[in-house]
């Protein structure tokens, strides 16, 4: 991990930089607190600054939500073909992620988050990051994802095809949308040793080993989720999806050589 240096209240500070998605370490650190507005934060992040939050934890989450709403206001181009529209959408999502990653927080040794009204993040961070022996900077959006993953692990995800709940850990893809799992469960299986395997020939779940069924999850508390706009993908993302779907339908229904 890289080491970052900055000055805070006239005192030189250093910390390690950690990013699960490989984001390079910030070059310019600015201290912000509850007085910072979303418009101010957005301007500073777009100018290349990374904002180290020193205010209230819940206000930081509200700031991140407000930044996300402003990033989602961009309207997708109207005259792109489906390939360019898809790549433009991916580029827009990457730019949004960079903006949200511009707000960072400091984890002290022992995974302590020293913000007002901050929750205990030690268990979730220890599972995701391992032991941290030095002060470490992480983006707030990543930290919220770590906390959300911990709640998914505790609560579990019900998979109808298995008639069971799975408890995925952080960084493990969680099939919260299980349509493809149903497709696999309904698909004909190849023959094994002269017999065709199917879901009906599988042993009953009650006969699975305890480790396969998963142990009972610990006591559940309301999930901590990352701040998001009005839906899971953002308002603008749904506009992009609608436009891409429209291009797909035109490509399928329009005879070759006919321009639309």
**Residue 224 near residue 118, CB atoms below 8 Å:** no
Condensed to tens digits (0 to 9), the pLDDT of residues 65-118 reads 999 998 887 776 777 788 888 888 888 888 888 999 999 999 999 999 999 999
**Domain locations in the chain as residue ranges:** 3-155+225-253, 158-213
Cα–Cα distance, 103 to 98 (Å, whole number): 10
Please report the pLDDT score of residue 241 as a whole number: 59
Strands 50-53 and 3-8 come out as unpaired
Condensed to tens digits (0 to 9), the pLDDT of residues 141-177 reads 999 999 988 888 888 888 887 788 888 888 777 666 6
| Residue corresponding to tokens 């930290």 | 143
Condensed to tens digits (0 to 9), the pLDDT of residues 169-208 reads 887 776 666 677 777 778 887 777 766 555 445 544 444 4
Condensed to tens digits (0 to 9), the pLDDT of residues 227-258 reads 433 333 444 555 655 665 565 555 544 444 44
Please report the pLDDT score of residue 211 as a whole number: 42
Average model confidence (pLDDT) across the chain: 78
| DSSP strands (E only) in 11-111 | 11-17, 29-32, 50-53, 103-108
Please report the pLDDT score of residue 170 as a whole number: 81
Strand partners, 158: 165
In this prediction, residues 116-128 reach a mean pLDDT of 94
Condensed to tens digits (0 to 9), the pLDDT of residues 2-14 reads 999 999 999 999 9
Please report the pLDDT score of residue 35 as a whole number: 96
| Residue corresponding to tokens 């984001």 | 23
């Amino acid at each position: 991990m890289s080491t970052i240096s900055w000055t805070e209240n006239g005192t030189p500070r250093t910390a390690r930089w950690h990013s699960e998605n490989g984001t390079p370490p910030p070059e310019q650190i600015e201290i912000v607190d509850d007085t910072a507005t979303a418009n101010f934060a957005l301007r500073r992040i777009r100018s290349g600054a990374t904002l180290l939050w020193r205010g209230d934890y819940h206000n930081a989450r509200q700031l991140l939500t407000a930044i996300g709403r402003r990033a989602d206001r961009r309207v997708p181009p109207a005259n792109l073909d489906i390939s360019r529209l898809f790549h433009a959408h991916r580029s827009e999502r990457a730019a949004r992620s960079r903006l949200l990653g511009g707000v960072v927080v400091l984890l002290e040794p022992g995974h302590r988050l020293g913000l007002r009204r901050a929750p205990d993040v030690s268990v979730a961070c220890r599972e995701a990051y391992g032991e941290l022996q030095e002060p470490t900077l992480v983006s707030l959006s990543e930290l919220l994802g770590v906390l959300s993953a911990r709640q998914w692990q505790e609560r579990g995800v019900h998979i109808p095809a298995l008639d069971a709940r799975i408890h995925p850990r952080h960084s493990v893809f969680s099939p919260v949308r299980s349509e493809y799992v149903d497709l696999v469960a309904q698909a004909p299986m190849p023959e094994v040793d002269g017999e065709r395997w199917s879901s009906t020939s599988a042993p009953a779940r009650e006969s699975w080993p305890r480790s396969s069924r998963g142990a009972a999850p610990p006591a559940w508390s309301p999930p901590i989720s990352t701040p998001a706009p009005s839906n899971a993908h953002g308002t603008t993302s749904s506009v992009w999806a609608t436009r891409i779907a429209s291009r797909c339908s035109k490509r399928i229904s329009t005879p070759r050589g006919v321009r639309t």
